[in-house]
């Protein structure tokens, strides 16, 4: 099977990482694959913040859980609580993708970047998790503190987060819903 197709079809959302740090080569490959993503009119409407500081990841994790605990809608809080209380699943690598509003396609472009990163992780034998909840600590009372600490450029907002790490326990990829495809010949 083609290696790209294999990475796509075998990838799943990992929610159980060993916590072992990534190598410099792995980090560089993930960053390079992010930067290689195509974008509308090549605007590259993103800024990438790579966090490998385990203490900072754990701090953001705890703050995210705290913010979720006070949310009116308890759905995500209960899901995280019932899953062990961790938003970031002990991952040693958190990539925050920040988007600007230079293009009406910025969110889509950031999503394409994200797909590049998770497929690169898969191809290297690493697990990954696309994590929208990474933005939760950036909405709470410490929002401005975190924006400053994480070096958010002016005009950029959180778009999506990606966790990467060594898989502690795995699972099968999700089942495909073939009813989602229509063929017109």
Query: Each residue of 108-153: pLDDT tens digit?
Result: 999 999 999 999 999 999 999 999 999 999 999 999 999 999 999 9
Residues written for the chain: 185
Say how many C-beta atoms besides its own lie within 10 A of residue 129's C-beta. 23
Provide CB contacts within 8 A for 3, sequence distance 6+: 123
Q: From first to last of its 185 residues, what are the pLDDT tens digits of the chain?
A: 799 899 989 899 999 999 999 999 999 999 999 999 999 999 999 999 999 999 999 999 999 999 999 989 999 989 888 888 889 999 999 999 999 988 889 999 999 999 999 999 999 999 999 999 999 999 999 999 999 999 999 999 999 999 999 999 877 777 889 999 999 99
Provide CB contacts within 8 A for 44, sequence distance 6+: 35, 109
Question: What's the pLDDT score for residue 98?
Answer: 97
Q: What is the distance between the alpha carbons of residues 53 and 34, in angstroms, rounded to a whole number?
A: 20
Question: DSSP letters along the chain, please?
Answer: --HHHHHHHH--B---B--PPPPHHHHHHHHHHHHT---GGG---EEEEEE--HHHHHHHHHHHHHHHHT-SS-HHHHHHHHTTS-SSTT-SEEEEEEE-SSSTTHHHHHHHHHHHHHHHHHHTT-EEEE-GGGGGGGTSTTHHHHHHHTTPPTT-EEEEEEEEE-BSS--PPPPP-GGG-----
Q: Give me the domains of the chain, ranges plus CATH numbers.
A: 3-167 (3.40.109.10)
Question: What's the pLDDT score for residue 102?
Answer: 81
Question: What's the pLDDT score for residue 20?
Answer: 97
């Amino acid at each position: 099977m083609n290696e790209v197709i294999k990475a796509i079809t075998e990838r799943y959302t990992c929610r159980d990482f060993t916590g072992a740090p990534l190598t410099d080569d792995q980090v560089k490959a993930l960053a390079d694959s992010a930067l290689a993503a195509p974008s509308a009119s090549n605007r590259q409407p993103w800024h990438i913040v790579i966090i490998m500081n385990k203490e900072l990841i754990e701090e953001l994790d705890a703050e995210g859980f705290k913010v979720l605990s006070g949310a009116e809608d308890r759905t995500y809080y209960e899901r995280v609580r019932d899953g062990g209380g961790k938003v970031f699943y002990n991952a040693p690598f958190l990539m925050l993708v920040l988007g600007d509003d230079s293009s009406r396609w910025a969110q889509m472009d950031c999503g394409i970047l994200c797909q590049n990163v998770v497929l690169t992780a898969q191809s290297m034998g690493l697990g990954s998790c696309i994590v929208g909840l990474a933005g939760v600590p950036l909405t709470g009372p410490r929002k401005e503190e975190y924006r400053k600490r994480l070096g958010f450029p002016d005009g950029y907002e959180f778009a999506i987060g990606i966790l990467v790490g060594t898989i502690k326990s795995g699972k099968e990829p999700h089942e495909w819903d073939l009813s989602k495809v229509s063929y017109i010949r």
